[in-house]
């Protein structure tokens, strides 16, 4: 296991009277592997998702408890001893609206910024590889990043993180503000990174479609607590939990549920997240009739 959180709490402000402390994240125990995981973190606004994610990248140091990132311990005690760069090299964090972190004169130079800081060799080839991965064509490598469209800027910014080749990639609501096609392309890219390069992907999102279609494991946060950690289908089956934490079912599941109820198809498996899977399932149950 690559990341281990044990009893991690975080408060943005520690008052003099310890009683009045308000934790953004409280007593969290988690372990996340550095290979092949595809995790989504859900929970309503203010539930501590962003705080948790920033702690994984050592941008915030936990107030209590410690985080073990492949052998490197991050806690308040050894705050000054942590080699932040080594941690951040292994874990790439893409913030919401990452296009605001672009600053260099050309696209290629900007993508090189990360790897250069981490002291990685053959920076340019890695940057080019990352740009190719996100689908940026070679003819705009030398253009200013500020002359690009919004979607392109975001892809360049993401390439800037990919270029340092982290094992774990964290995305904080990456699809906000993208058009449907851009969203789909980005998510397919993440799936590709997960399947072909065996990277662990952690997604913070509000979108239940993403949870259903892409993730393997779901972590539900509420009020700074982990209230659910496990398989997505198990989560959706537990309707009480879904309702309690103001979550929702993916559209496909909702539709299949209605079909199951109205046509009283008892053996229909409603937990099919992809439209084609849903179609196949319906076909199976209805015996190849018209849909």
Q: Which residues bind other proteins (CB under 8 A)?
A: 12-13, 54, 57, 59, 84-85, 88-89, 92-93, 95, 98, 100-103, 113-114, 116-118, 146, 160-161, 164
Whole-number minimum distance, CB 80 to other proteins, in Å?
A: 11
**Is residue 142 within 8 Å of residue 106, measured between CB atoms?**
yes
* Spatial distance between the Cα atoms of 70 and 47, rounded to a whole number of angstroms: 26
Whole-number minimum distance, CB 87 to other proteins, in Å?
A: 10
CB nearer to other proteins: pick between 105 and 188 = 105
CB nearer to other proteins: pick between 12 and 279 = 12
Whole-number minimum distance, CB 69 to other proteins, in Å?
A: 13
Whole-number minimum distance, CB 27 to other proteins, in Å?
A: 20
CB nearer to other proteins: pick between 145 and 250 = 145
* Residue 33 DSSP code: -
**Is residue 215 within 8 Å of residue 240, measured between CB atoms?**
no
* Residue 134 DSSP code: T
Whole-number minimum distance, CB 101 to other proteins, in Å?
A: 4
* Spatial distance between the Cα atoms of 288 and 282, rounded to a whole number of angstroms: 8
Give whole-number Cα distances, 122 to 55, 90, 116, 174, 197, in Å. 30, 18, 9, 28, 19
Whole-number minimum distance, CB 211 to other proteins, in Å?
A: 24
21, 72, 28, 77: which is closest to 53 by C-alpha?
Answer: 28
CB nearer to other proteins: pick between 164 and 215 = 164
- Using DSSP, state whether 226 is helix, strand or coil: strand
Q: Which residues contact 75 (CB under 8 A, 6 or more apart)?
A: 61, 62, 65, 66, 67
Whole-number minimum distance, CB 23 to other proteins, in Å?
A: 12
Whole-number minimum distance, CB 162 to other proteins, in Å?
A: 11
CB nearer to other proteins: pick between 193 and 286 = 193
SS3 content of the chain, % helix, strand, coil (to 5): 40, 20, 40
Residues belonging to the chain = 291
Alpha-carbon Rg for the chain, nearest whole angstrom, is: 21
CB nearer to other proteins: pick between 93 and 235 = 93
CB nearer to other proteins: pick between 108 and 270 = 108
251, 239, 169, 175: which is closest to 208 by C-alpha?
Answer: 251
Cα 26–228–32 angle (5° rounding)? 75
CB nearer to other proteins: pick between 62 and 92 = 92
The dihedral built from the CA positions of residue 142, 145, 149 and 153, taken in this order, carries a sign that is positive
């Amino acid at each position: 296991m690559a990341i281990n959180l044990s009893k991690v709490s975080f408060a943005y402000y520690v008052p003099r009277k310890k009683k009045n402390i308000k934790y953004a994240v409280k007593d969290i125990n988690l372990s996340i592997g550095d290979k092949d995981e595809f995790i989504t973190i859900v929970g309503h606004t203010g539930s501590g998702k962003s705080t948790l994610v920033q702690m994984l990248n050592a941008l915030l140091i936990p107030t209590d408890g410690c985080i073990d990132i492949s052998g490197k311990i991050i806690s308040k005690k050894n705050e000054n001893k942590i080699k932040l760069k080594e941690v951040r090299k292994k874990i790439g964090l893409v913030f919401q609206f990452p296009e605001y972190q672009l600053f260099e004169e050309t696209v290629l130079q900007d993508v090189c910024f990360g790897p250069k800081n981490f002291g990685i060799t053959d920076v340019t080839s890695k940057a080019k590889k990352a740009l190719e991965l996100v689908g940026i064509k070679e003819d705009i490598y030398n253009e200013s990043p500020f002359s690009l469209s919004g979607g392109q800027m975001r892809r360049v910014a993401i390439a800037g993180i990919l270029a340092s080749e982290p094992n774990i990639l964290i995305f904080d609501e990456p699809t906000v503000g993208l058009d449907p096609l851009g969203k789909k392309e980005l998510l397919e890219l993440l799936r590709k990174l997960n399947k072909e390069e065996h990277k662990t992907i952690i997604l913070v999102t509000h979108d239940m479609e993403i949870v259903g279609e892409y993730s393997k494991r779901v972590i539900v946060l509420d009020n700074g607590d982990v209230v659910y950690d496990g398989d997505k289908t198990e989560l959706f089956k537990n309707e009480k939990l879904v309702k309690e934490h103001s979550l929702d079912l993916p559209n496909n599941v909702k539709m299949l549920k209605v079909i199951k109820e109205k046509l009283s198809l008892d053996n229909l498996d409603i937990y099919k997240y992809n439209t084609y899977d849903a179609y196949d399932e319906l076909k199976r149950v209805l015996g190849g009739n018209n849909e």
